[in-house]
Structure 1
Amino acid sequence: MKKLKKMVFITVLGVFSLTLAGCNNSEKNTANSSNEKNESSVMEEAQTEATEAPTEAVTQPQVVTLQDCDIPTFELTSESLKDGVWDTSITDTENGSNQSPQLSWNSVSDAALYSIYMVDTSAGNWIHWISPNVTDTTLAQGWASEEEYVGPYPPSGTHDYEIYVFALKEQPSEEIYVNFNSGSGAFFTNIMALDKNSNADSGNIISYGHIKGTYTYGD
């Protein structure tokens, strides 16, 4: 009888232990689940706050090109341009003489100097002519040196060659980032450095002249 009671007691004790262990596991699982929910809620709130937070506007610097500016123009002519086509003699080709085009314009009031640029706008604004310190207003064909001028030499097809003459009040204060006999995709932006005088004030370009013509490979 004592043995039977002892066995019953042991059995009850075992069941009680299992029940107690099960409760403890349940509490642990509940606690873990609660922690996971809390962490998830915190993450969701953080993501919501980040999404709803106001975005500060970023102001990009304004890029000003020659075409954006209301700068007066003057008449520029060239005897090397016939019916919109440049004479072969100005080209750096087998049939050309690599002579800078003849140019003429009237003197501009208050201009201390002129800057000349020739650009192939069909080839990434390839620079064919840079003469930055000109004081004459009539230039004979071949006036520019080889250090300042190289004639058109298109690899194929028809290209557009444009000449700009800028009348300036004084030497510009900033360096002009335009490379001779090289592409200058940002030419019409970089050229605006001419408009800064020695005090870095705008208004150094009084006016400019502009002509353009074509030359076709093989002509």
Structure 2
Amino acid sequence: MKDFIYKKLIKWVYIATYILCVFFDIRFIVKWIYYGEKEDALFLFILLMLFHSAFLILALVWNKKGKAPSGAILLLFILGAFAIMSVNTAHTMVKYVYKSRYGTYDKTIEDFKQKSIMKVTSENLDGDNWSGDMEKSPQVSFDEVAGASYYVIYMVDESENNYVHWYAEVTQNELEQGANSGQYIGPYPTGDSGAHTYTVFVYALADEPAGYFTSEYPEFDVPWFAGDVLWTVLNVKDVAVNPPLYGNVIAYGYVSGTYHS
């Protein structure tokens, strides 16, 4: 009688453990669908469900054959440990894919530039060279992007560790020369350093920057982030969740030119 009750109890403990696994599996798929990673998460969700179902079947068969109580407890421990490990591993895998998609993992600045879709132009560019009075911020115009309410302009010296020369948050898609001059420092390559490449990046944002790295927003005349890293910063849509929710940058573009002292 005691063994019968014990087997029944263990059976329901197995089932309860499986239900808990299913709960975390569903929580996993719901979370990553919210983040827009349905395709990758769905594949892992199916694997998790099959994996956890196989453990339940194995446990029930073990219990039905009347194996030793110590073996049932050990199997339950193994089931729980593998369930936790499998769900955590699935989260880690999808999180990596997600952050890689919206971050700078395994990418170069050239990869980033090749995917730009906004057209950015400047009247201060003469061929491949910046010309005119560069002590004032250059004239810049760019595509107006549907759904964008903010545009961020970011100019760096790519030949000098991304020294920041211009940072502006605007709502219009054209700036005359000298606009936002209070947030601009002209290029000044040293006489013996040759031509430097100055790049103006423009990011179209759905909403104002979320301030994920507010304390690290650029100070002028110092090295800072490359254009692709700033894209990751500006692309943060919600900082209240972990990982941050991306999707704030709708499009981006750039224009580059060299400048001699």
Same fold (TM over 0.5): yes
- Which of residues 211, 219, 222 is equivalent to 1:182? 222
SS in structure 1 at match of 2:246:
coil
TM-score of the aligned structures, taking structure 2 as reference length: 0.52
SS in structure 2 at match of 1:212:
strand
Asked if the contact 1:72–1:206 (Cα under 8 Å) also holds between the matched residues in 2, the reply is no
Query: Counterpart of 2:43?
Result: none
2:204 aligned with 1:167, yes or no? yes
Q: What are the residue-to-residue correspondences of 1:1-219 with 2, within 5 Å?
A: 64=104, 67=109, 72-90=116-134, 98-131=135-168, 133-146=169-182, 148-156=183-191, 157-173=194-210, 174-175=212-213, 177=216, 178-184=218-224, 188-198=228-238, 200-217=244-261
In 2, Cα distance between equivalents of 1:66 and 1:197 = 23
1:76 counterpart letter in structure 2: V
For residues 124-156 of structure 1, give each alpha carbon's deviation from its aligned partner in whole angstroms, at most 9, with x where no partner exists. 11000010x20011110111122x101101113
Using the TM superposition, give the Cα deviation of residue 184 of structure 1 relative to its aligned residue in structure 2, in angstroms: 1.7
Asked if the contact 1:100–1:141 (Cα under 8 Å) also holds between the matched residues in 2, the reply is yes
In 2, Cα distance between equivalents of 1:185 and 1:202 = 18
Q: Which runs of 5+ in 1 are unaligned?
A: 1-58, 91-97
1:100 counterpart letter in structure 2: S
Using the TM superposition, give the Cα deviation of residue 203 of structure 1 relative to its aligned residue in structure 2, in angstroms: 1.1
Asked if the contact 1:66–1:192 (Cα under 8 Å) also holds between the matched residues in 2, the reply is no
TM-score of the aligned structures, taking structure 1 as reference length: 0.61
Residues 1:162 and 1:187: Cα distance change in structure 2 (over 3 Å) = closer
Cα-Cα RMSD = 2.6
SS in structure 1 at match of 2:143:
coil
1:175 counterpart letter in structure 2: F
Q: Which runs of 5+ in 2 are unaligned?
A: 1-92
Report sequence identity in percent: 34
For residues 71-101 of structure 1, give each alpha carbon's deviation from its aligned partner in whole angstroms, at most 9, with x where no partner exists. 55210110010111111401xxxxxxx1100
In the alignment of these two chains, the number of paired residues is 150
In 2, Cα distance between equivalents of 1:143 and 1:66 = 31
Using the TM superposition, give the Cα deviation of residue 198 of structure 1 relative to its aligned residue in structure 2, in angstroms: 3.5
Asked if the contact 2:142–2:174 (Cα under 8 Å) also holds between the matched residues in 1, the reply is yes
Higher-Rg structure is: 1
Asked if the contact 2:197–2:258 (Cα under 8 Å) also holds between the matched residues in 1, the reply is yes
Residues 1:66 and 1:190: Cα distance change in structure 2 (over 3 Å) = farther
In 2, Cα distance between equivalents of 1:155 and 1:216 = 9
Residues 1:149 and 1:84: Cα distance change in structure 2 (over 3 Å) = same
